[in-house]
Structure 1
Amino acid sequence: MAPKFEQVFKLRAFLSKTDFLSLGPIKGGPHRYIATVTHGTLEGCGLKAQLLHGGGDWLLLDHSSGVAHLDIRAQARSEGGECFYLHYPGILKMDEATQLVLQWSPEAKTTRSEDHYFVTTPVFETSSQDFKWMEQNIFIGHGHWYIPGDGTQAVEYEIYKVVSA
Protein backbone atom coordinates (compact mmCIF):
# COMPACT_ATOMS: atom_id res chain seq x y z
CA MET A 1 0.00 0.00 0.00
CA ALA A 2 1.30 3.46 -0.90
CA PRO A 3 2.35 5.84 1.89
CA LYS A 4 0.16 8.78 2.87
CA PHE A 5 0.98 12.39 3.67
CA GLU A 6 0.05 14.17 6.89
CA GLN A 7 0.42 17.96 6.93
CA VAL A 8 2.52 18.91 9.96
CA PHE A 9 4.02 22.36 9.33
CA LYS A 10 3.73 25.57 7.40
CA LEU A 11 6.99 27.37 6.67
CA ARG A 12 7.05 30.96 5.39
CA ALA A 13 10.44 32.49 4.50
CA PHE A 14 10.76 36.14 3.47
CA LEU A 15 13.48 36.92 0.95
CA SER A 16 15.86 39.87 0.80
CA LYS A 17 15.59 42.00 -2.32
CA THR A 18 18.89 43.78 -1.64
CA ASP A 19 20.82 40.54 -1.04
CA PHE A 20 19.29 38.65 -3.99
CA LEU A 21 22.12 37.70 -6.35
CA SER A 22 21.96 36.58 -9.96
CA LEU A 23 25.39 35.29 -10.92
CA GLY A 24 24.29 34.38 -14.43
CA PRO A 25 25.71 31.33 -16.19
CA ILE A 26 28.38 29.45 -14.27
CA LYS A 27 30.71 26.71 -15.47
CA GLY A 28 29.48 27.24 -19.01
CA GLY A 29 25.89 26.28 -18.29
CA PRO A 30 23.28 26.78 -15.60
CA HIS A 31 22.51 30.08 -13.90
CA ARG A 32 23.15 30.49 -10.18
CA TYR A 33 20.80 32.58 -8.06
CA ILE A 34 21.26 33.20 -4.34
CA ALA A 35 18.24 34.30 -2.31
CA THR A 36 18.84 35.27 1.32
CA VAL A 37 16.15 34.66 3.95
CA THR A 38 15.54 37.69 6.19
CA HIS A 39 12.95 36.19 8.53
CA GLY A 40 9.95 33.92 8.62
CA THR A 41 8.06 31.29 10.57
CA LEU A 42 7.83 27.53 11.00
CA GLU A 43 4.59 26.51 12.68
CA GLY A 44 2.67 23.32 13.42
CA CYS A 45 2.55 20.26 15.69
CA GLY A 46 3.12 22.35 18.82
CA LEU A 47 6.05 24.23 17.29
CA LYS A 48 6.09 27.97 16.74
CA ALA A 49 9.55 29.07 15.60
CA GLN A 50 11.07 32.12 13.96
CA LEU A 51 13.42 31.73 11.00
CA LEU A 52 16.63 33.64 11.62
CA HIS A 53 18.50 35.85 9.16
CA GLY A 54 21.25 34.10 7.23
CA GLY A 55 19.51 31.18 5.64
CA GLY A 56 18.92 31.08 1.93
CA ASP A 57 18.50 29.25 -1.33
CA TRP A 58 21.41 28.54 -3.64
CA LEU A 59 19.28 27.88 -6.72
CA LEU A 60 20.79 26.44 -9.90
CA LEU A 61 18.61 27.03 -12.97
CA ASP A 62 19.00 25.17 -16.25
CA HIS A 63 17.28 27.49 -18.73
CA SER A 64 17.24 24.82 -21.45
CA SER A 65 14.99 22.54 -19.36
CA GLY A 66 13.32 25.20 -17.20
CA VAL A 67 14.21 23.22 -14.07
CA ALA A 68 15.72 24.81 -10.97
CA HIS A 69 17.56 22.66 -8.45
CA LEU A 70 17.05 24.07 -4.97
CA ASP A 71 19.57 23.94 -2.14
CA ILE A 72 17.80 25.66 0.75
CA ARG A 73 19.12 26.00 4.28
CA ALA A 74 17.65 27.82 7.26
CA GLN A 75 17.88 28.04 11.00
CA ALA A 76 15.10 28.73 13.49
CA ARG A 77 14.50 29.30 17.18
CA SER A 78 11.24 28.42 18.92
CA GLU A 79 9.41 30.50 21.50
CA GLY A 80 10.71 27.98 24.06
CA GLY A 81 14.33 28.51 22.98
CA GLU A 82 14.76 25.26 21.02
CA CYS A 83 17.04 25.60 17.99
CA PHE A 84 16.55 23.97 14.59
CA TYR A 85 18.57 23.56 11.41
CA LEU A 86 16.68 22.88 8.18
CA HIS A 87 18.05 21.68 4.86
CA TYR A 88 15.56 21.15 2.07
CA PRO A 89 16.78 20.37 -1.42
CA GLY A 90 14.19 20.25 -4.15
CA ILE A 91 13.00 20.93 -7.67
CA LEU A 92 11.14 23.95 -9.05
CA LYS A 93 9.89 23.92 -12.62
CA MET A 94 10.01 27.48 -13.89
CA ASP A 95 6.81 29.22 -14.92
CA GLU A 96 5.67 32.79 -15.54
CA ALA A 97 4.69 33.42 -11.90
CA THR A 98 8.10 32.27 -10.68
CA GLN A 99 9.90 34.41 -13.28
CA LEU A 100 8.04 37.47 -11.97
CA VAL A 101 9.09 36.65 -8.40
CA LEU A 102 12.74 36.12 -9.36
CA GLN A 103 12.69 39.48 -11.17
CA TRP A 104 11.09 41.18 -8.13
CA SER A 105 8.42 42.42 -10.52
CA PRO A 106 5.56 44.55 -9.16
CA GLU A 107 3.35 42.19 -11.20
CA ALA A 108 4.31 39.20 -8.97
CA LYS A 109 1.31 37.69 -7.18
CA THR A 110 0.62 35.16 -4.46
CA THR A 111 0.18 31.69 -5.93
CA ARG A 112 -1.12 28.35 -4.71
CA SER A 113 0.93 25.18 -4.35
CA GLU A 114 -1.07 23.47 -7.08
CA ASP A 115 0.03 26.23 -9.50
CA HIS A 116 3.62 24.92 -9.60
CA TYR A 117 5.84 21.89 -9.50
CA PHE A 118 7.70 23.21 -6.45
CA VAL A 119 8.71 20.27 -4.23
CA THR A 120 11.35 19.89 -1.52
CA THR A 121 12.48 17.18 0.88
CA PRO A 122 13.07 18.92 4.23
CA VAL A 123 15.51 17.42 6.74
CA PHE A 124 15.48 18.76 10.30
CA GLU A 125 18.12 18.78 13.04
CA THR A 126 17.51 19.71 16.67
CA SER A 127 18.73 18.85 20.15
CA SER A 128 15.22 19.33 21.57
CA GLN A 129 13.88 16.05 22.94
CA ASP A 130 10.31 17.26 22.30
CA PHE A 131 11.02 17.53 18.58
CA LYS A 132 13.43 14.62 18.00
CA TRP A 133 10.66 12.96 15.97
CA MET A 134 11.45 15.54 13.26
CA GLU A 135 14.85 13.89 12.76
CA GLN A 136 13.27 10.46 12.48
CA ASN A 137 10.78 10.98 9.65
CA ILE A 138 10.70 11.80 5.96
CA PHE A 139 9.02 15.05 4.90
CA ILE A 140 7.83 16.55 1.63
CA GLY A 141 7.42 20.30 1.16
CA HIS A 142 5.02 21.71 -1.44
CA GLY A 143 5.80 25.34 -2.24
CA HIS A 144 4.24 28.48 -3.60
CA TRP A 145 4.87 32.23 -3.58
CA TYR A 146 3.45 34.59 -0.95
CA ILE A 147 3.35 38.24 -2.06
CA PRO A 148 1.67 40.38 0.64
CA GLY A 149 1.67 43.58 -1.46
CA ASP A 150 3.95 45.61 0.80
CA GLY A 151 7.07 45.25 -1.35
CA THR A 152 8.19 42.02 0.33
CA GLN A 153 7.93 38.50 -0.99
CA ALA A 154 8.18 35.08 0.55
CA VAL A 155 8.15 31.43 -0.29
CA GLU A 156 5.68 29.32 1.63
CA TYR A 157 5.69 25.54 2.03
CA GLU A 158 3.09 23.15 3.32
CA ILE A 159 5.25 20.43 4.88
CA TYR A 160 3.94 16.88 5.03
CA LYS A 161 5.21 13.90 7.00
CA VAL A 162 5.27 10.65 5.04
CA VAL A 163 3.32 8.03 7.02
CA SER A 164 2.71 4.34 6.46
CA ALA A 165 -0.71 3.56 5.04
Structure 2
Amino acid sequence: MSPELQTRYAFTITARIADVTSAGDIGTGVRRIIPIIGGEVKGEGINGKVLPFGADFQIIRPNELIELEAKYAFETDDGAVVYVENKGIRFGPVELLQKLKRGEPVDPKLIYFRTVPKFETGAEKYRWLMQHIFIGSAARHADRVVIDVHQVL
Protein backbone atom coordinates (compact mmCIF):
# COMPACT_ATOMS: atom_id res chain seq x y z
CA MET A 1 0.00 0.00 0.00
CA SER A 2 1.26 3.48 -0.89
CA PRO A 3 1.87 6.03 1.85
CA GLU A 4 -1.04 8.39 2.49
CA LEU A 5 -0.63 11.83 0.95
CA GLN A 6 -0.34 14.72 3.34
CA THR A 7 0.36 18.40 2.84
CA ARG A 8 1.90 21.13 4.93
CA TYR A 9 1.44 24.88 4.53
CA ALA A 10 4.68 26.39 3.23
CA PHE A 11 4.13 30.08 2.34
CA THR A 12 1.81 32.60 0.71
CA ILE A 13 2.43 34.38 -2.58
CA THR A 14 0.54 37.63 -3.14
CA ALA A 15 0.92 38.67 -6.78
CA ARG A 16 -0.24 42.16 -7.67
CA ILE A 17 -1.78 42.30 -11.13
CA ALA A 18 -2.47 44.94 -13.77
CA ASP A 19 -5.32 45.26 -16.25
CA VAL A 20 -6.34 42.30 -18.38
CA THR A 21 -5.43 42.22 -22.07
CA SER A 22 -7.61 39.98 -24.20
CA ALA A 23 -6.61 38.41 -27.50
CA GLY A 24 -10.28 37.54 -28.07
CA ASP A 25 -11.99 34.26 -28.86
CA ILE A 26 -9.38 31.88 -30.27
CA GLY A 27 -11.89 29.15 -31.15
CA THR A 28 -11.39 27.10 -27.98
CA GLY A 29 -12.11 29.95 -25.60
CA VAL A 30 -11.05 33.52 -24.84
CA ARG A 31 -7.30 34.12 -24.41
CA ARG A 32 -6.44 36.62 -21.67
CA ILE A 33 -3.06 37.94 -20.48
CA ILE A 34 -2.78 39.49 -17.01
CA PRO A 35 0.53 41.22 -16.17
CA ILE A 36 2.13 40.51 -12.78
CA ILE A 37 3.57 43.78 -11.46
CA GLY A 38 4.90 42.92 -7.99
CA GLY A 39 3.83 41.49 -4.67
CA GLU A 40 5.27 39.55 -1.77
CA VAL A 41 6.12 36.09 -0.48
CA LYS A 42 5.64 35.36 3.20
CA GLY A 43 6.19 32.17 5.14
CA GLU A 44 8.26 30.36 7.70
CA GLY A 45 11.82 30.34 6.36
CA ILE A 46 11.03 32.08 3.08
CA ASN A 47 10.16 35.74 2.56
CA GLY A 48 10.65 38.11 -0.32
CA LYS A 49 9.11 40.14 -3.09
CA VAL A 50 7.45 39.17 -6.35
CA LEU A 51 9.44 40.77 -9.16
CA PRO A 52 7.60 43.22 -11.45
CA PHE A 53 7.50 41.11 -14.60
CA GLY A 54 5.73 38.02 -15.85
CA ALA A 55 2.08 37.31 -16.52
CA ASP A 56 -0.80 34.92 -16.10
CA PHE A 57 -1.87 33.49 -19.45
CA GLN A 58 -5.47 32.28 -19.32
CA ILE A 59 -8.05 30.63 -21.54
CA ILE A 60 -11.66 31.05 -20.51
CA ARG A 61 -13.50 28.03 -21.86
CA PRO A 62 -17.11 28.34 -23.07
CA ASN A 63 -18.43 26.94 -19.74
CA GLU A 64 -16.43 29.63 -17.82
CA LEU A 65 -13.81 27.10 -16.67
CA ILE A 66 -10.62 29.14 -16.57
CA GLU A 67 -7.32 27.42 -17.35
CA LEU A 68 -4.35 29.46 -16.24
CA GLU A 69 -0.59 29.39 -16.54
CA ALA A 70 1.39 32.06 -14.74
CA LYS A 71 5.12 32.62 -15.24
CA TYR A 72 7.00 35.02 -13.00
CA ALA A 73 9.74 35.16 -10.34
CA PHE A 74 10.34 36.30 -6.78
CA GLU A 75 13.45 37.38 -4.93
CA THR A 76 13.96 36.25 -1.34
CA ASP A 77 15.05 38.65 1.41
CA ASP A 78 18.52 37.09 1.25
CA GLY A 79 18.90 37.65 -2.51
CA ALA A 80 17.93 34.32 -4.11
CA VAL A 81 15.84 34.49 -7.29
CA VAL A 82 13.15 31.82 -7.70
CA TYR A 83 11.40 31.28 -11.04
CA VAL A 84 7.74 30.21 -10.77
CA GLU A 85 5.57 28.38 -13.28
CA ASN A 86 2.08 27.96 -11.88
CA LYS A 87 -0.67 26.08 -13.74
CA GLY A 88 -4.19 25.65 -12.50
CA ILE A 89 -7.92 26.06 -12.91
CA ARG A 90 -10.58 28.38 -11.57
CA PHE A 91 -14.24 27.46 -11.68
CA GLY A 92 -17.48 28.36 -9.99
CA PRO A 93 -20.99 29.65 -10.58
CA VAL A 94 -21.09 31.71 -13.79
CA GLU A 95 -22.57 34.81 -12.12
CA LEU A 96 -19.74 34.86 -9.53
CA LEU A 97 -17.03 34.41 -12.17
CA GLN A 98 -18.54 37.30 -14.13
CA LYS A 99 -18.43 39.48 -10.98
CA LEU A 100 -14.72 38.60 -10.61
CA LYS A 101 -14.12 39.56 -14.25
CA ARG A 102 -15.67 42.97 -13.52
CA GLY A 103 -13.36 43.40 -10.51
CA GLU A 104 -16.16 42.99 -7.96
CA PRO A 105 -15.50 41.17 -4.67
CA VAL A 106 -16.51 37.51 -4.37
CA ASP A 107 -16.11 35.21 -1.35
CA PRO A 108 -13.08 33.01 -2.29
CA LYS A 109 -14.74 30.00 -0.61
CA LEU A 110 -17.35 29.99 -3.39
CA ILE A 111 -14.78 29.64 -6.21
CA TYR A 112 -12.66 26.53 -6.87
CA PHE A 113 -9.19 27.93 -7.61
CA ARG A 114 -6.33 25.43 -7.34
CA THR A 115 -2.86 25.47 -8.84
CA VAL A 116 0.31 23.39 -9.12
CA PRO A 117 3.31 25.73 -8.76
CA LYS A 118 6.74 24.57 -9.90
CA PHE A 119 9.86 26.38 -8.74
CA GLU A 120 13.41 26.71 -10.11
CA THR A 121 16.43 28.26 -8.39
CA GLY A 122 20.18 27.83 -8.23
CA ALA A 123 20.24 28.88 -4.56
CA GLU A 124 21.24 25.93 -2.38
CA LYS A 125 19.15 27.15 0.56
CA TYR A 126 15.97 26.93 -1.53
CA ARG A 127 16.68 23.69 -3.43
CA TRP A 128 13.86 22.07 -1.44
CA LEU A 129 11.47 24.02 -3.66
CA MET A 130 12.65 21.92 -6.62
CA GLN A 131 12.65 18.66 -4.68
CA HIS A 132 8.96 18.59 -3.73
CA ILE A 133 5.56 18.91 -5.34
CA PHE A 134 3.37 21.79 -4.24
CA ILE A 135 -0.29 22.65 -4.58
CA GLY A 136 -1.84 26.06 -4.21
CA SER A 137 -5.20 27.23 -2.96
CA ALA A 138 -5.81 30.64 -4.46
CA ALA A 139 -8.16 33.61 -4.34
CA ARG A 140 -8.59 36.30 -7.01
CA HIS A 141 -9.13 39.87 -5.90
CA ALA A 142 -9.52 42.97 -8.07
CA ASP A 143 -5.82 43.93 -7.89
CA ARG A 144 -4.07 40.74 -6.75
CA VAL A 145 -4.06 36.96 -6.54
CA VAL A 146 -3.29 35.35 -3.17
CA ILE A 147 -1.93 31.79 -3.27
CA ASP A 148 -1.45 29.67 -0.16
CA VAL A 149 1.24 27.19 -1.19
CA HIS A 150 1.22 23.73 0.42
CA GLN A 151 4.03 21.20 0.19
CA VAL A 152 3.02 17.61 -0.59
CA LEU A 153 4.82 15.40 1.93
Quick one: distance in 1 between partners of 2:60 and 2:52? 24
Alignment partners' CA distance in 1, 2:10 and 2:18 = 26
Question: Which letter does structure 2 place at the counterpart of 1:7?
Answer: Y
| Matching residue within 124, 129, 134 for 2:124 | 129
- Partner of residue 109, structure 1: 105
Q: Which residue of 2 aligns with 1:74?
A: 72
| 2:146 aligned partner, one-letter code | E
Match of 1:75, SS? strand
C-alpha distance in structure 2 between counterparts of 1:98 and 1:54, whole Å: 26
Deviates most, 89-98 or 51-60: 89-98
The residue correspondences of 1:17-56 to structure 2 (distance < 5 A) are 17=19, 20-26=20-26, 28-56=27-55
Taking structure 2 as the reference length, what is the TM-score of the superposition?
0.90
Cα drift, residue 35 of structure 1: 0.4
Q: Is the 8 A contact 2:100 2:106 kept in 1?
A: no
1:16 is aligned to 18
Question: Structure 1 regions of 5+ residues with no counterpart?
Answer: 148-152
**How many matched pairs?**
150
Q: 1:60, 1:68 within 8 Å by CA — same for their partners in 2?
A: yes
Q: 1:80 to 1:130 in 2, by over 3 A?
A: same
Q: In structure 2, how many angstroms separate the alpha carbons of the residues matched to 1:111 and 1:10?
A: 18
CA shift digits 1:64-101 (9 cap, x unpaired): x2211111111111111110100011111144343223
Q: Percent identity at matched positions?
A: 24
Unaligned runs of 5+ in 2: none
Contact 2:74 2:81 in 1 (8 A): yes
Give the Cα separation in 2 of the matches to 1:45 and 1:132. Answer: 15
1:84–1:126 contact (8 Å) kept in structure 2: yes
CA distance in 2, matches of 1:142, 1:101: 17
Check whether the contact 1:39–1:51 (CA below 8 A) recurs between aligned residues: yes
Aligned Cα root-mean-square deviation (Å): 1.5
- 1:158 aligns to what? 148
| Residues 127 and 44 of structure 1, relative CA distance in 2, 3 Å threshold | same
Runs of 4+ in 1 over 2 A off after TM superposition: 94-104
SS in 1 for 2:129: helix
Q: Which residue of 2 aligns with 1:150?
A: none
Instruction: Report the equivalent of 1:4.
Output: 6
